[in-house]
Structure 1
């Protein structure tokens, strides 16, 4: 009979979300994981299979705990300005890093990212009663604002231009 696990898998995955969101997949070594998560190398491999396995668990956790609640809130958005504010104020760091760093090289990550962004688009389209392509453009605009580091700027010119939608 094997030894009992000396760590809480849930806590490790949650901590890994922060580590990968702050430094990206390629910026985190297995030694970093061992040091920052307090998990022995053998336990990490036994539980998650690899660094990639832990990354996928962390990405899925991020999608469940950060992106899914955003989608639920977006489904109830009253107008474009509210939808934009919701997207720009959400914690989407790991999703955005996954989209640019891992998705081009990893089909499984690409599928997770694509599904998450599609759910954001669908929630916006449904809430605002607009076509899917316009909802995707709103999502892209909001994410662009986040990437440029100006989420407060959404409340000005962009939302004024979108107000005629309602």
Structure 2
């Protein structure tokens, strides 16, 4: 019988959303996750399977609301969607939802462009 989990999985995923939204997937190491999330490496692997598993959980969480995390979306679109079909599917779903809620793909593009410009401004 294993020990009870010493962390709140929802809280870890929420913190991972913030970490991945602030930095690109490839610039977040497992050591960064362990340090910033306060989770032991073995626990992270046991619960999420891998860094990618936690990333996918963070994407699902960050995209699950009617107000998705645009920073997370932008980084996922640029970095992971071109090379990861599962990430691409999640990105396409949230883009479709944004198009529907904003009324057009043009409005979604404007929103994302504005967010990208804001990220580039110190």
TM-score by length of 1: 0.68
Instruction: Give me the whole-angstrom Cα distance separating, in 1, the residues matched to 2:15 and 2:24.
Output: 13
Aligned-residue offset at 1:91: 4.1
CA RMSD of aligned residues (A): 1.4
Residue segments in structure 1 that go unaligned for 5+ positions in a row:
71-89, 126-134, 151-166
After the TM superposition, list the runs of 4 or more consecutive aligned residues in structure 1 that deviate by more than 4 angstroms. none
Matched, 1:149 2:118: yes
Rounded to whole Å, the distance in 2 between the matches of 1:2 and 1:142 is: 47
- Structure 1 counterpart of 2:26: 26
1:139 corresponds to 2:108: yes
Partner of 2:101: 123
How many residues align? The count is: 119
Cα 1:54–1:47 shift into 2, 3 Å: same
The equivalences for 1:3-22 within 5 A come to 3-22=3-22
Correspondence for 1:157: none
Distance across 2 between alignment mates of 1:96 and 1:112: 12
Aligned counterpart, 1:53: 53
2-structure distance, mates of 1:94, 1:35: 20
Separation in structure 2 between the aligned mates of residue 28 and residue 91 of structure 1, nearest angstrom: 18
Larger Rg: 1
Aligned equivalent of 1:37: 37
Aligned to 1:100: 78
Q: How far apart are 1:142 and its partner, in Å?
A: 2.1
